[in-house]
Each structure stands twice: as C-alpha cells, then as structure tokens.
Structure 1
Amino acid sequence: MTTSDLSASCKPFGVSKVISQSVYEEFYNQGDEERALGYTPLSMMDRSRSLNQPAEQIQFLSVVVIPCLVMVQNIFPNTNPLLDNCRKTQEAWREEIEIRGQKLWRQSESVPRPSRNHFQATD
C-alpha cells in the first residue's frame, strides 16, 4: 500500500466518504460473489454489515493510515496538512457514529489482555 492509496483519507470528509463508499461497493460486490460460491465473506465485504462502515473507517485510519502519515511526516515535514485532514476525517466518522447512536470503536479496547490462567499448563 502506498501513500497515494491512502490519500482519500486525507481529503475533506465529504470527498473521503464518497470515495470510501465507492471502495465498499467494490468490496460488497466481491462479497456477493463469494457468498454465491458458498463462502462467508469478510465482514468488510458483507453487504449486510454496511452499518459498520464508520467504525471500520475509524479503525482503518487509526491502525493503518495515521501511522503511515506520521512516518511520511517525519521524512517530509511539509506533509503535515495530510495528517491534519486525516484526523479531521476520523473525527467526522466518530460524529457519524454518534449521530447513528452506534457504539464507537476504540483502539484501546481492542488490545488483547491475557487472562491470569493464560500461561498455566493444563493436566
């Protein structure tokens, strides 16, 4: 994946959202074909889970796009507007989730925590 592949996330939210919806339509078409072949598509390719788009976008921005843009900014400091716009887009997705009344994905809640019995041997 290149920075140019991620550039849609750095555009104003209205533009970014339209591009995102176009990408999802491509994903859903693939998921439809997989389902027709008897497979279960990935969640992001499952048309019946389209309400998850905002949360999936926040996760994508948090885990993939923003870390890449931070790295690019470290090399090319004049790219700071890309990172700023991406963070604004991320916030707009959060607002969309709140408007819909959905639960917001938080990266800190996704970190696996080992249970106390995790390292104990079983008999």
Structure 2
Amino acid sequence: QWLINSNKANIAAAKSAAVKAIASGKPATMPKDNLMVIWNFPAAKYTTFTATGLPDTSGPAANGTKHCNYTTKQLVAMADIGALAAADGKLPNAGTVRSIMRKAGGLSFDRTFEAPLLKFYATE
C-alpha cells in the first residue's frame, strides 16, 4: 500500500507540473499511471496444528510471514499481463486483466482498494 500511495503522490505532482507547463505555453504531456497492483487471496485457514499442538510448518508459509505465496498459474497470469503491457507500452484493459486472473484463480485487481498501512509506515 505504501508503494501505491507513493505512486499516487508522484502522479499528482507530475500532473500539476504538466498543467503549469501548459499554462505557461510550454509543451507537456500528462503522465500515465502504469501501476497495476495485483492482490492474491489468502488461504481460508492459515495454520494447521500437529497432534502435539504445535503449528505444522511442513507446508508453505502463510501469506504475510514469507510475503505472498503464488501458484504457477498465478505467476504465469502475472507474466502474461506484463507481456501485454510491454507489447504496447500501456496496461491492458480491465476486462482482459480480469479474464486472465479469473482463469488463474485467486487473484484480484482493484484500483480503489486501499489496505491500511502498517504502523512503521504511518510517518511516511
């Protein structure tokens, strides 16, 4: 979320600079927001326990403890989206992205979603 917020601030500053340049008669182009945040859905249950009551660590770590766990289909979907963006220099349309994500399963893209910042980011 910190990266999303920083990107929003940078885009806003670049737009403001472009408007000022245009107002003063200088050529300027409006910046494009080429950030697409792809979220993966966490598992329904994070921890299983052994017969002794200890966490079972034989499987992959839960999201958040070792960042995000993606399936091969999800990684390929993100690579496909990146390849589409690289082919023409802009993000693919939302319908295409949602179709790719639906086929991969467990992915989401929502430009309006804002996760609460962790406490150590609160001062930035």
TM-score, normalised with respect to structure 1: 0.29
Whichever of the two has the greater Rg, that structure is 2
Instruction: Tell me the TM-score normalised to structure 2 length.
Output: 0.29
Whose helix fraction is larger, Structure 1's or Structure 2's? 1
